[in-house]
Structures are given as structure tokens and as C-alpha cells.
Structure 1
């Protein structure tokens, strides 16, 4: 069993002894610690907390435990039920709530779940805030409310509010999308995207919708991370169905991958590149993505006269850098689009609306649009960790080995060569080292990744 406690939330596999996996007792403990933090931060006796969840099998159990724990701590709870991560983020703001908890393990398989923690702006907590909650949890430093001070629990549905919010964005052109008469497929991996995406597409005027894995059962039809190796069957269906584009999301709908009309992958790294190209053509400015993202965003940004900045991996780090540089668009190369005109969170629904607008206005097919962008190739790899492996020592040794190259160590070790780069970092969400390598062709990126992996293995 696995339990990962980090500033980005509490994530683990379901079952096992408390402290080994993400057991019901752990859920209660960390929810209660979060409630203590919310009370301390707001100085309110009854802060309001929004709770939303994806459709994974353990979700209903988690929902009950979290809502009851928050109520038991004296917090008022707005339970929005099955909802995307960005829907929950927006609900925090619209409710003028003091925070939120999203019950999702994002791209992890069905045996995982997590508590993702939000502040009153509907954004992920800072490192300092997250550390404080972990301290409260480990010390069990919280006191439950007396019977007359228990918090209330109310239920609301925020899907339509989210859809309406997207439609009101200045750069979303519903008329252009409707007139394009697209046939649009989507793969929701049997989670909440099956509820949210068709609602959005219909509101955007898309009449021909081809659903794939749309039932929000939580029994994922394939490995839920929207990577090419997990979407072979979906790509085949796209070729057979004669669609213009297919959108693929992860279980909580904050990552967006695109399949072109011929069944080829648009490439999740290029979701942000394409959306940024459209946004920057209308609103020139700066961009941000993390160290593990493609160089293509830098190229597109500079083409439009803006400045590109790389941040440490993690949505909170990207958002912090976006605010510092006043970026007009940003995100992560995993298909995460962050559009400040909407909100500071990865949002696949916003990404879908902006991409469809871009596609409609371009007059191109997906494959034609993809060819207009710089062509880089990323090889994404990982090495499984065992408890005795000291990742920090490995990273220091790799940094020393490549000291004559351009090295960035704000998050793991990124080594920039003239035409390629490799980024090594310990994952915050899984017991692995991620090794991402990008080059000018697939063969070179794979070769670079394999070389670095072999060097790491010799150090283990």
C-alpha cells in the first residue's frame, strides 16, 4: 500500500492499515487538519468549504468521510458531488467559500484516490500552507466541535455555472464553432468528463457528438493518464467514426489531450502550444510552463513578441510564476491549460472551447494545424523507486556529471543541450523518478532518455 503526503495533497492507494494506504482513518485525520487550518487562517468559527469529487470507485466513501469530518470540525460544507477539478475551483470562488477539497487522484489508476486542497481563491495551497496542514495532521492537533456547533452540509450542482462561465470568455467564439459544424468525439475514461464535456459541447453549438467511455462509473476503460500508449483503441475509434477532433481527459478533467481527424495524436504537449498560439494572436503577452514541457511554447511565445518563463513542476508553481510575469496563458505540457482570464487552474473545458474556436477560425484540419507548429519530440519515462534509494544523492551526482552543460536545479535537475534537453525529478504523486527528454526527432529523444536512464541505474 502507498500513502504520499505532500504540500499538493494527500494521495494513496485504498485500503491497508492506517498510515500505510489511504484508509478511512487517514481521510478523517487529514480532512480535520485542513479544517483546523481553515479556521486558523480565516479566524472564522464556521468557515465554508466546497467538496467535489471525480467518479472513481472510492469517491462516494471519501465524500461521506470528508463532509462528515468537516462538519464535525464545525465547518459548513457545500457538497457539489460529481464535478471536475476546475468546476470545484470555480465553485469555491462563486460560493465565496474559504477553501475546497477535491477528491481525485487525477491520472492515477482506480486503486488510488486523494485529497487535493484549495484556498479561498480556488487555487492550490502554497508550500507553507500545505506544510502547516501536515503538521496539524501528524500531531492530531485539532478539536472537534460540540453538538450545537456542528457545521451544515448542503448540496449544489455547479456544472451549468462552469459551462456558462466558459461561454462568457471573450476569446471563445460560439458562433464560429457552431458554423464549423464539427463532429467531435470525446473519451472521458468513465469519469466526470462524461457529464461535463457533452454539456459544454452542446452549449458551444456542436451538434454531432461521439461519446467514448462516457459513463461515470469509475471503472476506467483504459489507464487513465491520457498518453498515446493508453489511447490506442480510442485512436482506432476516431479513424472509424470520421470525426474532426477527439478530446481525451483524465478522470478529474484538468488535463486535455487531442486526437486528430486521422486518428493520430495531436500530442498532449501541443494542447497548450495550440491554445497559446490562438490566445497570443488576440492578446499578446507572456507565457509560462514547467521545466518538463516542450520548447515549442517558447518558440510560439517569441513569435508573438512575448517572453517565455519556465517554472518548477506543479500547478501551484506554474501559477505563482504566471502571476509574477503577468502571463496571459500558461500551463503544463501534460495537457494542462491555465487561462487567467478564466481562473488560475488547469481546465480542460476552457481548453476545449479555446481549441475549437482556434480550429474553426483557422479553417484547417487538426493535422494541418499541428503541422504549423515547431516539431519537437518528448520521450517520457520513469524509474520505479524502492525505499532504500536516495534520489537526492542521485540528482546531485547527475548534476555534477553534466556541470559543463546548462543545468537548472530549481526542481530536480534539467540539463539543456544545444538541440535537446533532459529533466530528472522525483514525482510528488508517485514513488518514481521521472525522466523526460526532448529532441528534434523521436529517435534522438529516446536515445537521450535511454542514456540517462542507464546512467541513473548505474548509480542505484
Structure 2
């Protein structure tokens, strides 16, 4: 059993003993702690929370625990039902709510679930606020309301449509030019709310949609992380039916990847690179990505003559830096796009709208578009770990092995090699694993660099 607590919220596997997995008791404990945190931070008489959920089998059930807990603590709840993580963020802002919770485990498999928590700005809690929340959960005794002061629940439908209309109203999105391109697009909704949201967006944009696994029953047909090895079926389908491209998202729709017209994987790293390219054609300013993201974005920023900044992995870190430097675009190399003119948070739907505007204006295929950018190869490996002591030993070994190289210790260990090659080793924020990312101009070389680290891990 697994329970992970980090700046990405809490998530875990289902079943097992209390404290060792994501159970109803964990939901009640953390949601009550979240309410206490909110009351300490905002100090008001009445509070409103937005509540949404992804399509997982357990999300509808667990939603009931959240509603009961919030009402028992005197909190009013606006339940928007089946939703996306960015939609909850938009709803918090629209409804002037004090916070929001999305029931999701994001890209993790169907035997997982979790809570993503928002502040009153519709953004994830900062690292500092998460630490306060975790302290409250461990130390505080919660005070529940009398029957006269119970919270109310309100149901609001069609919030995904409200989110989409907000995206389409952005001046940088050109609905007319997308419509004129007469695009045919295959959508893999991974049996969650992407199967609802992405087709609605595409129909608003005048796109012919071919659906795959868009029924949001939560019994994911394949591993839900939107990476190449999990998307072989859509990669075959796109050229088979002569579609212009394919789109795949994760279960809570904050990450998006694209499939080329010939069935090649466009690459999750190049989602951010290509969208940044379009943004920088229209607006001059800094860009931000994480230490585990491709150097292709840095190369693009040099070409465009704008500053580029790296941060620790995680949305909260990217958002913090974007605000500091007034970045015009940012995100993560996993397909997460943060466009601040809409909201400070990853959003697959705005990413899709920006990307389609770009290719419609350029009148270009995805395979040709990708040739415009630096051609790097990345190896992304992960190894399960159970001992924090062994991780410390591993990091010390790596530090000694690469002592002659430039090393960054701000998020695990990042080793800078010649010719823009690098190795990044860090503990995951979302699973009990060590992530090993490497990048090189050669696929063989990237894999070789990763294998060197894996060999050191196996020796422990």
C-alpha cells in the first residue's frame, strides 16, 4: 500500500491499513485539515468550497465523504461533479470561493485516488501552505458544527463548458482559423473526464472528432500516463483513418500530448516547446520549465531572445517562478501547460486550443512542425524505492562519481555534461519511486547515461 503526501496534494493506492493507503479515514482527516487551514488563512464567517472529481470508479463514492465532512464543519459546497483539475481552478475564481478540491490521482493507475487542493486564487497550495496543512492534520483536534450551523450543498452543471468558453474568448485563440482548417482529430479520453471535455472543446472549434475511450467510467483501458508506450493504439489509429493528428490527456486533464499525422509520437516534451513558440510569436517575455524538462525549450528561448528559467519539478514551483519573473508561458515537460493569461495552473484544454491555433495559422503537419525545434532524445526511467537511507547513500555515490562535473542540488541531483547532455535523479512527488531522466542528441547515449545510474542503484 502507498500514501504519498507532497506539494502535489495527497494520493495513494486503495485498501489496506489506515495510514498506509488512500482510505475514507484519510479523506476525512485531510479534508478536515484543509478546512482548518482555510479558516486560519482567510478568517471569515462563511466559507465556500468547489468540489470536482475525475472519472475514476472510486471518485463518485469518495466525493460523498468530502461533502459530509465539509457540511459537518459548517462549509458550503458547490459540487460541479465530473470535472477536470483546471476546471475546478476556474470555478474557484468564477464563484469567488475560498478554495477547492479535485478528487483525482492524476496520471496514476486506476487503483489510486487522491486530493488536489486549491487556494482562493484557484491555484494549488504553495509549498509553505502544504506544510502548514500537514502540520494541522497531524496535530489538531477538529471542531464540528452543531446541526444549526451545518453547511449547504449546491449543484452546478456544465462547468466544463464555462471553462471552455473562457478559453475560446482569449484573444490569442483563433476559432475561425481553426474551423477553416477543417481538422480531423482522434481523441483518447482514457475513460475519464478528458473524454467529456476535449470533444466539447474541439466541437466548439469546428473540429471533426473521432473518439477513443471517451466514456468516463474510470475503468482505464490502458495505463493513464500520457507517454508513448501507453499510446500505441492511437498512434496506429491516426494514420489509419487519415486524421490530421491525435490528442491524449491524463485522467484529470492537466497534461496533453499530441500524435503526428503519420502516427509518430510528437513527444510530451514538445507540447510545451511548440506552444511556447506560438506564444513568443505574439508576446515577448520569459519562459519557465523544470529541471527535468528538455533543453529544447531553452534553445527556443535563446533563438527568440527571451530569458529561460529552470525550477524544481512540480506545478507550484513553476508557478512561483513564473510570477517572480512575469513569464508569458511555462510548464513541465510532461505535457503540462501554464498560460497565465487564463490561470496559474496546468491546463490541457488551453494547451490544445493554443496548439491548434498555431498549426492552423502555419498550415503545417505535426511531423514538419517538430523539425523546427532542437532534436534531443530523453530517457525517462523510474525505480521503486522503500528506504530513504538508501537514497541518501545513492546520492552520495553519484556526487562522488561526477565530482568533476557541474552539479545542481536544488531538486535531487542534476549533473550537467558536455553538449547539453544532462542527468537528473530525484524522488518523485507522486509515487514512491526514484525518477532518472537523461537527455542527449542520441537515443543510445541517453539510454546509456540512464543505465549507468541504474547500475549504481542495483549495487545498493
Quickly name the TM-score band, shorter chain normalised. Answer: over 0.9
The answer (yes or no) to whether the contact 1:45–1:74 under 8 Å persists in 2 is no
Deviation readout 1:331-367 (Å, 9 max, x if unpaired): 0000000001111111000010000000011111111
Aligned to 1:174: 175
Taking the aligned partners of 1:365 and 1:325, their CA distance within structure 2 comes to: 33
Aligned to 1:183: 184
1:146 and 2:154 are equivalent in the alignment: no
Query: Any idea what SS the aligned residue of 1:390 has?
Result: helix
The answer (yes or no) to whether the contact 1:29–1:140 under 8 Å persists in 2 is no
Query: Any idea what SS the aligned residue of 2:211 has?
Result: strand
Per-residue deviation, 1:313 = 0.3
Aligned to 2:446: 445
Aligned to 2:396: 396
Taking the aligned partners of 1:414 and 1:127, their CA distance within structure 2 comes to: 21
Aligned to 2:52: 52
Moved more, 52-61 or 141-150: 141-150
1:115 and 2:124 are equivalent in the alignment: no
Moved more, 312-321 or 68-77: 68-77
Taking the aligned partners of 1:46 and 1:394, their CA distance within structure 2 comes to: 50
Per-residue deviation, 1:388 = 6.4
Deviation readout 1:215-258 (Å, 9 max, x if unpaired): 00101010000111111112111121110011100000000011
Aligned to 1:296: 296
Taking the aligned partners of 1:8 and 1:440, their CA distance within structure 2 comes to: 31
Query: Any idea what SS the aligned residue of 1:368 has?
Result: helix
Aligned to 1:365: 365
Alignment of 1:261-300 (within 5 A): 261-300=261-300
Alignment of 1:37-186 (within 5 A): 37-157=37-157, 158-186=159-187
Taking the aligned partners of 2:283 and 2:248, their CA distance within structure 1 comes to: 27
Alignment of 1:197-346 (within 5 A): 197-206=198-207, 208-346=208-346
The answer (yes or no) to whether the contact 1:259–1:266 under 8 Å persists in 2 is yes
The answer (yes or no) to whether the contact 2:186–2:234 under 8 Å persists in 1 is no
The answer (yes or no) to whether the contact 2:7–2:316 under 8 Å persists in 1 is no
Per-residue deviation, 1:280 = 0.3
RMSD in angstroms over aligned alpha carbons?
1.1
| Residues 1:286 and 1:13: Cα distance change in structure 2 (over 3 Å) | same
| Residues 1:336 and 1:388: Cα distance change in structure 2 (over 3 Å) | closer
Moved more, 298-307 or 311-320: 298-307
Taking the aligned partners of 2:391 and 2:150, their CA distance within structure 1 comes to: 44
The answer (yes or no) to whether the contact 1:379–1:442 under 8 Å persists in 2 is yes
The answer (yes or no) to whether the contact 1:80–1:155 under 8 Å persists in 2 is yes
Taking the aligned partners of 1:319 and 1:393, their CA distance within structure 2 comes to: 32
Per-residue deviation, 1:376 = 0.4
Query: Any idea what SS the aligned residue of 1:71 has?
Result: helix
Query: Any idea what SS the aligned residue of 2:328 has?
Result: strand
The answer (yes or no) to whether the contact 1:36–1:73 under 8 Å persists in 2 is no
Deviation readout 1:72-127 (Å, 9 max, x if unpaired): 11111111110011001110000101111111100000000001111111111112
Q: Which consecutive residues of structure 2, in runs of 5 or more, have no partner in the other structure?
A: none
Moved more, 133-142 or 118-127: 133-142
Query: Any idea what SS the aligned residue of 2:399 has?
Result: helix
Taking the aligned partners of 2:398 and 2:170, their CA distance within structure 1 comes to: 45
TM-score normalised according to structure 2 size: 0.98
Per-residue deviation, 1:389 = 4.8
| Residues 1:202 and 1:142: Cα distance change in structure 2 (over 3 Å) | same
Matched positions, count: 458
Taking the aligned partners of 2:33 and 2:176, their CA distance within structure 1 comes to: 47
The answer (yes or no) to whether the contact 1:39–1:46 under 8 Å persists in 2 is no
The answer (yes or no) to whether the contact 1:296–1:374 under 8 Å persists in 2 is yes
The answer (yes or no) to whether the contact 2:394–2:456 under 8 Å persists in 1 is no
Deviation readout 1:163-201 (Å, 9 max, x if unpaired): 111101111100110000010111010000111011101
The answer (yes or no) to whether the contact 2:228–2:265 under 8 Å persists in 1 is yes
Q: Structure 1 stretches (4+) deviating beyond 6 angstroms?
A: none
Taking the aligned partners of 2:410 and 2:396, their CA distance within structure 1 comes to: 12
Aligned to 1:16: 16
Taking the aligned partners of 1:130 and 1:156, their CA distance within structure 2 comes to: 28
Query: Any idea what SS the aligned residue of 2:34 has?
Result: helix
Aligned to 1:348: 348
Aligned to 1:429: 430
